[in-house]
């Protein structure tokens, strides 16, 4: 098991990390999970009980619909009814929805209590659970309500990825490719060289990929925790990707699929602006397809996508700002793009 420090967090990557000691000075534990991840949550629960920590558990239905203010309020009330105090901690076991929601509730209950995250999806392990961003969705857009709240610890066990449904597993690869594009050309090449190991979910290959992605994000977040500068590079593919998710009411595309299509669109924008060469777009497109990720989506209402773009958190004075690639492993951020180019790119990816 390898450890990566990130500000006040400690991130553990490797086999057995899901069953790593969880307690820990907490007067009580609130275990948050969903129905799909209940078997893994029971492992964490057993460790807590063995350590003598009282455990209160809530099991939510799976899915993005749970990532809401209504669900957060329900959890707040259940925690209060259970008598959990400021020295209690939340233990969130699940994918990005659960870790985002768990972090948000922890940051707002009694003005902030400790949280430990146990991501069980590839998306969660390489991105959603790392960096201290929490959030819930509004009907108008994704993650429009949220906080920065660093978890005490994050435990990433790549072995649990074996049981992910194929579509969910492949979706997580969208974020993996993103890391290669924004910061690590060697990781980009590693993905291509090890595509068979990725498809077969080889434990050693996955362990290396998760570790390298976490290390990149930890380095970026350590330098810019509150996204006042360089942390913006982590949003590559997300500006258009989040808009696509919202336009589809979070039912058409999974997050990593939307990021993949978003990267395609944003690479097109970069090429049209003369920042990136055509070869970059071709290389990215080839790797995304090798991973089984989409680069197009049909029947996505253009007006809804454009409306969602206007609500993007990175907008300045009503103008959408983008992260655009200039080479494999290198991007620029805060780039304003003419509206006609955005519309043209959207028409290309939705054709």
At 301, list the tokens: 């209402």
Query: Per the residue annotation, which of 116, 183, 238, 266 is the catalytic one?
Result: 238
How far is the C-alpha of 224 from the C-alpha of 317, rounded, in Å? Answer: 22
The number of CA neighbours under 13 Å toward the Cβ of 273 is 23
In degrees, rounded to 5, the angle at the alpha carbon of residue 235 between the alpha carbons of residues 231 and 237 is 155
Reply yes or no on whether 242 is catalytic. Answer: yes
Reply yes or no on whether 111 is catalytic. Answer: yes
Query: Per the residue annotation, which of 45, 64, 175, 245 is the catalytic one?
Result: 175
How far is the C-alpha of 179 from the C-alpha of 41, rounded, in Å? Answer: 28
Reply yes or no on whether 178 is catalytic. Answer: no
Query: Per the residue annotation, which of 64, 116, 183, 235 is the catalytic one?
Result: 235
Query: Per the residue annotation, which of 116, 133, 183, 212 is the catalytic one?
Result: 133
Using a 10 angstrom Cβ sphere, with 0-12 exposed, 13-18 middle and 19 or more buried, the burial of residue 272 is middle
Strands 9-13 and 2-6: antiparallel
Reply yes or no on whether 217 is catalytic. Answer: yes
Q: Where are the alpha helices (DSSP H) in the chain?
A: 38-50, 69-81, 96-108, 122-123, 166-182, 185-193, 195-199, 203-223, 238-247, 255-272, 278-290, 302-310, 339-349
How far is the C-alpha of 241 from the C-alpha of 23, rounded, in Å? Answer: 37
Query: Per the residue annotation, which of 212, 231, 245, 257 is the catalytic one?
Result: 231
Reply yes or no on whether 321 is catalytic. Answer: no
Backbone angles phi, psi at 332, to 5 degrees: -110, 150
Other Cβ atoms less than 10 A from the Cβ of 87: the count is 12
Query: Per the residue annotation, which of 142, 178, 183, 255 is the catalytic one?
Result: 255
Q: Which of these, 94, 80, 87, 124, lies nearest to 34 by C-alpha position? A: 94
Reply yes or no on whether 231 is catalytic. Answer: yes
Query: Per the residue annotation, which of 116, 183, 212, 217 is the catalytic one?
Result: 217
Reply yes or no on whether 149 is catalytic. Answer: no
Which residues partner with 322 through β-bridges?
A: 335
Reply yes or no on whether 255 is catalytic. Answer: yes
Active site residues: 111, 133, 175, 217, 227, 231, 235, 238, 242, 255
């Amino acid at each position: 098991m390898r450890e990566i420090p990130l500000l006040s967090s400690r991130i553990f990557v490797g086999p057995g990390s899901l069953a790593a000691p969880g307690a820990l000075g907490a007067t009580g534990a609130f275990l948050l999970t969903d129905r799909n991840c209940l078997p893994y949550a029971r492992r964490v629960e057993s460790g807590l009980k063995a350590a003598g920590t009282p455990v209160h558990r809530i099991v939510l239905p799976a899915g993005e619909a749970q990532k809401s203010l209504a669900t957060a309020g329900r959890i707040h009330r259940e925690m209060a009814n259970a008598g959990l105090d400021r020295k209690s901690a939340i233990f969130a076991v699940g994918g990005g929805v659960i870790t985002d929601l768990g972090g948000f509730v922890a940051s707002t209950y009694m003005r902030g209590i400790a949280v430990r995250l146990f991501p069980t999806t590839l998306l969660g392990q390489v991105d959603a659970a790392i960096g201290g961003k929490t959030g819930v969705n509004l009907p108008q857009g994704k993650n429009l309500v949220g906080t920065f709240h660093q978890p005490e610890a994050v435990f990433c066990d790549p072995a649990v990825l074996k049981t992910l449904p194929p579509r969910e597993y492949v979706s997580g690869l969208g974020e993996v490719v993103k890391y290669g594009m924004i910061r690590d050309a060697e990781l980009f090449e590693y993905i291509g060289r090890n595509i068979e190991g990725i498809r077969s979910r080889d434990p050693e290959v996955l362990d290396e990929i998760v570790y390298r992605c976490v290390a990149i994000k930890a380095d970026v977040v350590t330098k810019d925790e509150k996204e006042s500068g360089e942390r913006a590079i982590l949003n590559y593919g997300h500006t258009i990707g989040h808009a696509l998710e919202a336009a589809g009411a979070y039912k058409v595309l999974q997050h990593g699929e939307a990021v993949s299509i978003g990267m395609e669109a944003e690479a097109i924008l970069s090429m049209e602006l003369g920042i990136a060469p055509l070869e970059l777009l071709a290389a990215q497109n080839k790797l995304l397809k090798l991973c089984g990720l989409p680069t197009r989506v049909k029947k996505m209402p253009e007006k809804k996508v454009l409306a969602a773009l206007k609500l993007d958190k990175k907008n300045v004075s009503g103008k959408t700002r983008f992260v655009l690639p200039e080479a494999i492993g290198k991007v620029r951020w805060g780039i304003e793009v003419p509206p006609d180019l955005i519309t043209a790119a959207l028409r290309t990816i939705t054709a």
